[in-house]
């Protein structure tokens, strides 16, 4: 593509981060859409947007946070599309796509409970517990106050415990 023929340092950094963190971006996208092809599309669209706007990255030390924000925004954009099927519709069409935890076990109850959370609350849980990020990093990615992120985390964990039948 002609747009990328003259690379700057930000663009090279963004390309490297996309390559290094592709699996993390894919996991986040998949956790929202539960479909491999859609998750791949989301990551590809996010990568394209990031590369096209790499010149707007002001501080390279925030490149990773900037990229996570772009990928989450791509997830949210995809979910807002009118042609997007609901999770239940996808299950009917494609069968049951299980949610895999890091140890490889399947937990559909957790998947459904996460799906019931608002987008921003779900993002906090995914970034904190599945991507092992610090709350400060999550606040930067979501462009929210640290106290807001902490509140979202507390409220979301309480909802998850309630839905999953654990002691609060």
**CATH topology match: 7-89 vs 106-168:** no
- Residue 58 pLDDT greater than 80, yes or no: yes
* Residues 23, 29: Cα–Cα separation, whole Å: 10
Q: Closest Cα to residue 107, out of 96, 118, 117?
A: 96
Tokens of residue 164, six digits:
């999953």
The backbone torsions φ and ψ at residue 33, rounded to the nearest 5 degrees and listed phi first, read -105, -15
* Residues 126, 119: Cα–Cα separation, whole Å: 10
- Residue 50 pLDDT greater than 80, yes or no: yes
What percent of the chain has pLDDT above 70? 79
Q: Where are the domains of the chain?
A: 7-89, 106-168
pLDDT band at 87 (very low <50, low <70, confident <90, very high): very low
Quick: pLDDT tens for 95-134: 344 455 556 555 677 888 888 888 889 999 888 888 888 8
Rg (CA), the chain: 17
The answer, as to whether pTM is greater than 0.85, is no
Mean pLDDT across the stretch 33-61?
A: 89
* Residues 125, 134: Cα–Cα separation, whole Å: 11
Mean pLDDT across the stretch 72-85?
A: 78
What's the CATH number of domain 106-168, 3.30.1130.10, 3.30.830.10, 1.10.10.10, 3.40.1350.10?
Answer: 1.10.10.10
Using an 8 Å Cβ cutoff, are 101 and 156 in contact?
no
What percent of the chain has pLDDT above 90? 23
| Fold assignment, 7-89 | Rna Polymerase Sigma Factor; Chain: A (1.10.1740)
**Class of residue 63 by CB neighbours under 10 A (exposed 0-12, middle 13-18, buried 19+):** middle
């Amino acid at each position: 593509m002609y747009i990328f023929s003259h690379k700057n340092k930000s663009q090279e950094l963004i390309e490297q981060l996309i390559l290094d963190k592709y699996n993390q971006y894919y996991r986040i996208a998949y956790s929202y859409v539960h479909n491999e092809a859609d998750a791949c599309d989301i990551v590809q669209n996010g990568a394209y947007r990031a590369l096209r706007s790499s010149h707007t990255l002001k501080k390279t030390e925030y490149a990773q946070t900037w990229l996570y924000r772009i990928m989450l925004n791509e997830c949210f954009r995809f979910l807002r599309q009118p042609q997007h099927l609901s999770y239940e519709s996808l299950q009917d069409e494609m069968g049951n796509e299980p949610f895999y935890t890091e140890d490889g076990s399947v937990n559909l109850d957790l998947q459904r409970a996460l799906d019931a959370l608002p987008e921003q609350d779900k993002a906090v849980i995914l970034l904190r517990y599945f991507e092992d990020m610090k709350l400060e990093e999550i606040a930067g990615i979501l462009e929210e106050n640290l106290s807001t992120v902490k509140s979202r985390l507390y409220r979301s964990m309480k909802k998850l415990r309630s839905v999953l039948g654990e002691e609060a």
